[in-house]
Amino acid sequence: MRDRALPHRHQRFVRFYHGQVGAEWDQTVCAGLVGICEPVRQEYLRAVGGRPAFYEAGNLLQETFPHYGIPDSAWHETSTLQRELADKGWHQCASPVDLLIAVTARHHKLTVLHADADFETISRLTGQPVRWIS
């Protein structure tokens, strides 16, 4: 990946998050190639420390990443996807949040960047692009 000077807000986010996933993640974020949807934002914020960290992380997420909306058809699509997973015996692998992220990424024609094998399982069924970030 090409190195480039980071706007201050991106530098702050990478410092805040650095080392939790790995160098490839840091490089991908720095290149401006990562966006998020609301389930990703909420999953991330659920895991941060106390109240100050929650607000700092929320602000950094908003400043750093483009936001992708959940499609109006999301609940219908997640229900269909869950049934398709059940037909393969794989329905226990994916949480409702995983399903929402997957259908949102598919709607926007995005690759799911993850460190969660559940998305690999979903991809085996849907064929949508996923990439393990370590």
Length of the chain: 134
Mark whether 83 and 56 lie in a shared domain: no
Residue 63 has what pLDDT?
A: 86
For the CA atoms of 71, 10, 28, 74, the dihedral, rounded to the nearest 10 degrees, stands at -10
Q: Which residues contact 98 (CB under 8 A, 6 or more apart)?
A: 116, 118, 119, 122
Mark whether 103 and 125 lie in a shared domain: yes
Mark whether 54 and 93 lie in a shared domain: no
Mark whether 88 and 42 lie in a shared domain: no
> What's the first-to-final CA gap in the chain, in angstroms?
15
Contact in structure between 113 and 34 (CB atoms under 8 Å): yes
Q: Which residues form the domain of 53?
A: 8-64
* pTM of the predicted protein model: 0.80
Mark whether 84 and 105 lie in a shared domain: yes
- What is the total count of domains within the chain? 2
Chain center to CA of 15:
19
DSSP for 82-98, please give it: HHHHHHTT-TTS--HHH
Residue 100 has what pLDDT?
A: 96
Mark whether 92 and 54 lie in a shared domain: no
The answer to whether position 85 is within a domain reads: yes
Residue 102 has what pLDDT?
A: 97
Q: Which residues of the chain have pLDDT under 50?
A: 1-10
Cβ neighbours, 10 Å, residue 118: 20
